[in-house]
Structure 1
């Protein structure tokens, strides 16, 4: 495998050759593919949100629900916050690990989960004793989940195949953004979509270390992200770090349009990215991704592989600006694909894709490693090690969390005083010209469309996401 310096020289050489004629889409130019305006001209779910579903309001304007303990259920728990009805904006006054006894079911729409509001070490979800179903199941629309860690693990004495970190499925699951989270140690997929899920974005997540040999009845089953189902469509997968999953980085097995843009994929065993027409013909736009073979990678496997299960006449793959072990010469995008599947390659992207700010693969490598994952309020040792392993080219497949040091302890931290319990600390409210004696979370002090509590939550992540500078920074933690 080339060294990191070798990869940089390789990509720089490719970029320097203008004959390649690469046109990368940007949010300002509209790109080379006839993309529609970002978020369709609507207010993004949060500053910088892009891709399908990015205009969802989530829980904007709803009641603020504070998670105040690490209990599996009951008052103050995350389960109570997510399974309760009504429009809601979830914040945290506690940090640590929550042992989830069974899947938390989100089936009432219009909810935002702002994990970045937790003090100290942030929030990690773990499968508790007896859990055979996984961590969180989304079965509704207009959901935003940010800055949480989903680390299922394989509880002692539990056997089964569905210990996923996050599932999104069923008809009616749409307009969802999963952004800046960390997923690892699942028994099946770290993340999956199914059935009639649509208009969903996965952005800036770390999806890593799916358990290779755990309790899955098929044996080896370390998987990243599955996009599948008979009617699943309109998916954006951008700026994620996939590392140390044998496959599905991601796998597209659904009809409709799917964007795979500016992701970093490291140390895959099977082909990194798979696509199949098992449920209909996908149209996949694969742009500016950086594929890196790792210690467990088979040099004879191509970066992209197709699994045909029926007529291929409408199935298509569009490739542009991707870098990987098999794309070392000008015009070699076809060489990324298993030879027998190169008939699927087309010259143009599907029309009408949402705009995603896109950079060249080398720059995406740097930006994704610097900003992806649930790193606010705290970059835990699991994510830090994954990132460093990618930089050093030394990752490995994981059979059990103990293989990589087990569950880290998270600093508890202390929430800042919030007299009116509106999700915003008193000191921040004072600096923003708000009242610490009344709930003004749903107001909009600067008139930009984001409520006051959203402004606070967004300000917390200025270090890793673009922000509106009108309101003050949150106080130092």
Structure 2
């Protein structure tokens, strides 16, 4: 059955699906707590044909639809939102890598300054986002009554506790408060190969990712931050919260192979505001990551920064200079201490010290810190890389040139123009180009074959559409 919604601009294709028998990772090579995310596997295909805020052919129409679905792009450019896209129905894949030149999502100028606006809010499970630029922006008229403008939010909605979320190759910037967040809930989440940079600083609120805010009101579980760059944020680089470690260490957050560049006042924040029944606060592993001071860095910034809001004991593993392959590297002068308390002056060392081994198994593989910076600066963020990301990667490569302060607001000139060529021909609108189907013995007139299962090779068990989408990802990212 082929279902056309509102003419040819938006095409939703729904067919019986042959599901693989075994559990699969999100894609070959996926890692971390969210690696079981299946996204829109086996579902409909929505073709995004325009950059309108809403309506037929829009990204919103796909992301806010129901049922398993994959958003495939035939357009490049900037989508200006008058209100957030709220994903309340899961089983969603957004394949930004299919856009010929890339997709940039921002808030439309003129939205009420006091309104809390996060362009993408995820309040459902099984969501996979890849190769998107999310840059809220704000106007000069903002003041101390501004609303929070974060990039991406994962939130509890009623009894729904989002889980199985995979965010990969995102470029997130021009936000205030936090670059991304999970609020009250969220578990089994991976954030990987993403660039969090160029934040805005109204009232010095240029913060990085916040994991499990108000965690005591929901059921927060494990989040893996793996191979990301967090650049030029004042606080929350990232900020981690949990209610204890969990019976099976299922609440232990992992920060692995992450580069924190040019932090302002604090590095990684470990917050103990809501301990468990055993008086254990937040649990975290920080492994094989780099923190490098820059012009924005002031005072004795530490790798681990504990708030000590309560008498709880945080548990964390963050080795430095132990000779282990998991050692974190601290760069810059004056020397960076391993841990300090954030709310006590003068600077006071933490009450706790690093565990001697990870708290549970690390959830993602490690590469050497000797090659990490080069690897990340080539790989992170949405591709094709635009001029804004390229400029910030330059600041990361040469941190002495990074900004000491961030702007309070954006102008139209702040946002790069995103252009691209023509999309490949896809006669049956199944999300796979004719050339791919012909090369793999599929039909260019039978859209149902996109959900057939790849029988052998690297993609055994995945659908043909998933294979194409992952191969397209590898085509546009550096080797």
Under TM normalisation by the shorter chain, which class is it?
0.7 to 0.9
Partner of 2:239: 251
- Provide, for residues 425-463 of structure 1, a one-character-per-residue CA deviation record: whole Å limited to 9, x for no partner: 111211121111110211124351111111111111225
- Provide, for residues 225-259 of structure 1, a one-character-per-residue CA deviation record: whole Å limited to 9, x for no partner: 00122232211001001111111111112232000
Q: Tell which deviates more after alignment, 230-239 or 401-410.
A: 401-410
Instruction: Confirm or deny that 1:185 pairs with 2:193.
Output: no
Higher relative contact order (CA 8 A, sep 6+): 1
Output the CA distance in 2 between the equivalents of 1:399 and 1:288.
Answer: 31
1:465–1:382 Cα change, 3 Å: closer
Output the CA distance in 2 between the equivalents of 1:457 and 1:358.
Answer: 25
Q: Tell which deviates more after alignment, 359-368 or 337-346.
A: 337-346
Output the CA distance in 2 between the equivalents of 1:369 and 1:425.
Answer: 30
Cα offset, 1:353, TM superposition: 4.1
Instruction: Confirm or deny that 1:269 pairs with 2:271.
Output: no
Cα offset, 1:130, TM superposition: 4.0
- Name the SS for the 1:180 alignment partner: strand
Partner of 2:446: 438
Question: Please, which of 38, 63, 76 is the counterpart of residue 82 of structure 1?
Answer: 63
Partner of 1:21: none
1:82–1:309 Cα change, 3 Å: same
- Name the SS for the 2:175 alignment partner: coil
Partner of 1:3: none
Question: Please, which of 149, 171, 175 is the counterpart of residue 133 of structure 2?
Answer: 149
- Provide, for residues 103-158 of structure 1, a one-character-per-residue CA deviation record: whole Å limited to 9, x for no partner: 11001111111100011x21000011344322000001111000000001004656
1:303–1:466 Cα change, 3 Å: same
1:466–1:451 Cα change, 3 Å: farther
Cα offset, 1:328, TM superposition: 11
1:2-401 to structure 2, matched below 5 A, reads 42-119=23-100, 121-131=101-111, 132=115, 133-155=117-139, 157=141, 160-170=146-156, 171-213=160-202, 219-228=203-212, 229-230=215-216, 231-255=219-243, 256-280=251-275, 281-313=281-313, 315-319=315-319, 320-325=326-331, 335-338=337-340, 339-354=348-363, 356-375=364-383, 378-393=384-399, 394-396=401-403, 397-400=405-408
Partner of 1:460: 472
Structure 1 portions without partners, runs of 5+:
1-40, 214-218, 468-477
- Provide, for residues 43-64 of structure 1, a one-character-per-residue CA deviation record: whole Å limited to 9, x for no partner: 2101211000201111100011
Partner of 1:32: none
Given that 1:115 and 1:146 are in contact with CA atoms closer than 8 Å, whether structure 2 keeps it comes out as yes
1:173–1:167 Cα change, 3 Å: same
- Name the SS for the 2:79 alignment partner: strand
Given that 1:71 and 1:98 are in contact with CA atoms closer than 8 Å, whether structure 2 keeps it comes out as yes
1:400–1:453 Cα change, 3 Å: farther
Q: How many residues align?
A: 414
Given that 2:170 and 2:194 are in contact with CA atoms closer than 8 Å, whether structure 1 keeps it comes out as yes
- Name the SS for the 2:388 alignment partner: helix
Cα offset, 1:325, TM superposition: 3.2
Cα offset, 1:346, TM superposition: 1.7
1:401–1:48 Cα change, 3 Å: farther
Given that 1:236 and 1:259 are in contact with CA atoms closer than 8 Å, whether structure 2 keeps it comes out as yes
- Provide, for residues 309-338 of structure 1, a one-character-per-residue CA deviation record: whole Å limited to 9, x for no partner: 112235434434100137999xxx9x4212
